[in-house]
Amino acid sequence: MSAQPDPGLGLEYVALAADIEADCTLPTIEPLLSDEGRPVFADSWEAEAFIMGKMLVADGLITPREWYDTISVEIRAAQDRGDPDRGDTHYQHWMDALERICVEKDLVDAGTLVQHQAIWSIAVAKTPHGTPILFENAFLEEDELEHEHGAATEDPPPMAVYGRDEPPM
């Protein structure tokens, strides 16, 4: 039997997401292409991370200088860890910077961030293949799942807040 997340964690977000989903229909948007004709973002999470960073600045929650300093620290730290800096990891650094600055500015509690990352990992593991990943899937019981993963049914390992096992400085 796999461990279940605390049902009290994140349920307000599940309800909010369901309300938002019911109230809006989004048009299909073609990918933004670079001058070379390739998509600017390799995956949708990259575009979402990009716009979240821009919105934090636009909404005045962080200054452009704070964002520049934070993303610079994350890129340097990744290079120090051996990142070859080919450009394919840029948005992972962007995401690491988002997590760091949101915790540092008290926009999110570090413990809550870790809990939500763990819940998301469980939701990923429990989501039927080929369907959108839904946060509430983390709370499904084994008999409610609509797919099989084979013999292995263990939970994914927990994720660190900043993509590594060290707290922010």
Question: How is the chain classified by DSSP, letter by letter?
Answer: -PPPPPTTSSHHHHHHHHHHHHH--PPP-PPPB-TTSSBS-SSHHHHHHHHHHHHHHHTTSS-HHHHHHHHHHHHHHHHHTT----STTHHHHHHHHHHHHHHHTTSS-HHHHHHHHHHHHHHHHHSPTTS---GGGGG--GGG-SS---S--PPPPPPPTTSSSS---
The 10s digit of each residue's pLDDT in 69-121 is: 999 999 999 999 999 878 888 899 999 999 999 999 999 999 999 998 899 89
* Greater model confidence, 95 or 2: 95
What average pLDDT is seen over the chain?
A: 76
Answer yes or no: is pLDDT of 162 > 50: no
